[in-house]
Amino acid sequence: MSSSNRQGGSGGVEVRASHILIKHEGSRRKASWKDPEGRVIKNTTRENAVSQLKAFRDDIVSGKATFEDIASRFSDCSSAKRGGDLGPFGRGQMQKPFEEATFALNVGEISDIVDTDSGVHIIKRTK
């Protein structure tokens, strides 16, 4: 029997996603590839991080920018060098809010703001 690629459940179901992470003063690790000393991150409120992401999401949805371009330029995650691509992952591999949001998306969909201990994200499910 071949495994189906349905949402939910476990049993080896994997998704693939890209994300844009904006860290803020409440993030567990206040440094990133673009801010190694954490100077900007330590002075970014969660509200400011959320408004940055909302503006990025609006630009992506309206076609002014691509998800990959915004991720590669602005994401605080090292996945930025891959346009935000995290590769395939299954349940139990990501922080719970991130996992739940990703598995709830259809392929090609972009999430609303997702909060984790790492910061705030928008997620695009790619598989």
Binned at pLDDT 50, 70 and 90, residue 1 comes out as: very low
| Letter string b/e over residues 71-83, b meaning 16 or more CB atoms within 10 A of that residue's CB | bbebbbbebbeeb
Average pLDDT value for residue range 83-110: 97
Active site residue 24: no
Neighbours of 107 (CB within 10 A): 13
Residue 17: closest CA among 113, 117, 96, 109: 109
pLDDT tens digits for range 18-39:
999 999 999 999 999 999 999 9
Tokens (6 digits) for 27: 């993030």
Catalytic residue among 18, 32, 79, 118: 118
Active site residue 77: yes
Q: How much is the pTM? A: 0.89
Contacts of residues 38-46 at CB distance under 8 Å and 24 or more positions apart, as own/partner, are 41/76, 46/115, 46/120
Active site residue 121: yes
Which residue is associated with the tokens 């995650």?
77
pLDDT above 70 as % of the chain: 91
Catalytic residue among 19, 24, 32, 111: 19
In whole angstroms, give the CA distance from residue 4 to residue 59: 34
Binned at pLDDT 50, 70 and 90, residue 5 comes out as: very low
Active site residue 52: no
Q: What per-residue confidence (pLDDT) applies to 11?
A: 54
pLDDT tens digits for range 47-92:
999 999 999 999 999 999 999 999 999 999 999 999 999 999 999 9
Helices and strands (H, E) in the chain, number of each type: 4, 4
Active site residue 118: yes
